[in-house]
Structures are given as structure tokens and as C-alpha cells.
Structure 1
Amino acid sequence: MKKNFGDHSANERTFLAWIRTGIAIMAFGFLVEKFTLFLDYIGIVFEKNPQSNARFFDPFVPWMGFIFMALGVIAILVASARFYWNAKQIDSESLFVAEKAWMNVLLGILIGLAGLVLAFLVGKNILFSAESP
């Protein structure tokens, strides 16, 4: 059996959870790419011309999808680096004081900001559709 097997197993489970999260973020980015279909539906519900709403958001929606896909890739890369660093720390006899948690915090902030921008786009579209007669 491998030395510190429990710690290595926990490290691997965390790594796999991050991989799943990265894949989910990338899938969400793909969904956002197809977001104009949802915007068209909102336009139909509010009895607006669906093409006028979709044209307003065309420059933003593909970029938001790309940003989420890129954040998913970054999450997987950060997870891989953290897995490697943690595996080295588990096997080391010395104590490590410096934690690389700033990467996780930065990634969380970036995903949160991208979500806020996407929420703003949806809210603006709903308000834009509701105001016009």
C-alpha cells in the first residue's frame, strides 16, 4: 500500500471534483453560446420581434460563452497544478506554510464576475423587452 494512502486518495477525489466542475463550466459556456435561442424565446413571450432582441446581444453572448469555456479550462489547469503540489506536500517530511489558495479565490471571483455579467445581460433583455410597446 502507498504511504499516506488516505491523504493521496483525498487529494485525488478533490482533483476529480475540480475536473468535473471545470467540465460543467465549459458545458455552461457552450450553453451560453446558444443563448440567443433563449433571448428569442423571451422576445416571443413579450410579443417582440425576436430578431431585434437577439441583434442587441449578438456581440456579447458569444464572448460570454467563450469566457465561461476558458474559465472551465483554467479550472482544470489550476486543479492539475494543485493536485501535483498537494501530492508533493503529502510525501514531504517538511511543513508547508504557504498555501496557494489565492488561485482558487481568483478563479471563484472570475466565475462570479462572468455570472454577474450574464445576469445583467438577461435582466437588461427582460427590461428592454418589457419597456417597449
Structure 2
Amino acid sequence: MTVTYIGYTLAGLIAAAIIFIGARFILAPRVAAAGYGVQTDLRHSGSGAYLSVKGVRDIASGLFVIILMAAGATQLLGWMILAATVIPVADAAIVLRNDGSKAIAWGVHGLTAGVMLVTSTLLLIP
């Protein structure tokens, strides 16, 4: 098994996971918000809209990964995943700043950032 194959496998798992999470923000926003680590009150005007926006952006992010994988753009895929690592790092900071779950901040968002760093490294190794 080559390093690139492992990188592509991890990238595919990342893409599938973020598409699933995006769909969940659209279809089950309360559940998705709790999984993110911060509770939201959907009775407030606009809350549901913001969660739907997040869902669409997550789905698009997963599709970007799939497109680069299908094109065989290994280096570009690696750089894109490395750049996108800022997303789970920022998510962890947002959860912590808003008195959300520390376990989710570190265990979900922190772990995701770590997996993304490993994945980008495997894809960028010549």
C-alpha cells in the first residue's frame, strides 16, 4: 500500500464525512448543532437559515475534495486539505469561545484537524 493510496483513502473519508455532516445540518439542524458542540435555539429567526448555509458549504467542501481526487490532482488535493485544516481549528476555537463542549472541541474538531494534517502530508510527499 503506497503513501498516496493511504492519503487518497483518508481524503475520501474526509469528503464523505463532511458531505454527511452538511446534509445533517440541512435535514436535522438541532442534532447537527449539538454534534458541532454548541447548542442553538431554532426558535430565533434566522437560526435555521445559518445552519442550512453551513450545511451547503460543508457539502460543497466535500465535493471539492472528490473533484480533485477524480482529477488525480494529488499535490493540489494535498495543498487544499492543508489549507482547509483551518476550518476544524476555527471550529474548535468557536466551540470553546462559546462555552460549548470541550470534549467535542478537542475530540471532534481537534481530531479532524489532526487527520487532515496527516492526510495532506501523505499527499504532499513526493
TM, length-normalised to structure 1: 0.48
Could you tell me whether the CA contact under 8 Å between 1:26 and 1:69 is conserved in 2?
yes
Counterpart pick for 1:52 among 38, 43, 53: 43
CA distance in 2, matches of 1:31, 1:115: 20
Q: Secondary structure at the match of 1:52?
A: coil
1:104 matched residue in structure 2: 78
TM superposition outliers: structure 1 runs of 4+ over 4 Å:
37-40, 117-124
Task: Give the Å deviation of 1:111.
Answer: 5.7
Q: Does 1:23 align with 2:12?
A: no
Could you tell me whether the CA contact under 8 Å between 1:71 and 1:111 is conserved in 2?
no
2:114 matched residue in structure 1: none
- For residues 48-127 of structure 1, the aligned pairs below 5 Å read 50-53=41-44, 55-82=45-72, 100=75, 102-110=76-84, 112-113=86-87, 116=90, 120=94
Could you tell me whether the CA contact under 8 Å between 2:15 and 2:61 is conserved in 1?
yes
2:30 matched residue in structure 1: 36
Q: In 2 relative to 1, CA 56–18 (structure 1 residues): closer, same or farther, beyond 3 Å?
A: same
TM, length-normalised to structure 2: 0.51
Task: Give the Å deviation of 1:121.
Answer: 8.6
Q: In 2 relative to 1, CA 76–51 (structure 1 residues): closer, same or farther, beyond 3 Å?
A: closer
Task: Give the Å deviation of 1:76.
Answer: 1.6
Task: Give the Å deviation of 1:60.
Answer: 1.1
Aligned residues with identical type, % of pairs:
10
Q: Secondary structure at the match of 2:68?
A: helix
- Unaligned 5+ segments in structure 1 are 1-8, 44-49, 87-99, 127-133
Task: Give the Å deviation of 1:114.
Answer: 7.4
Alignment-mate amino acid for residue 26 of structure 1: I
Q: Secondary structure at the match of 2:49?
A: coil
Equivalent residues, number: 95
Q: Which is higher, the Rg of structure 1 or of structure 2?
A: 1
| CA root-mean-square deviation | 3.8
- Unaligned 5+ segments in structure 2 are 101-126
CA distance in 1, matches of 2:6, 2:59: 23
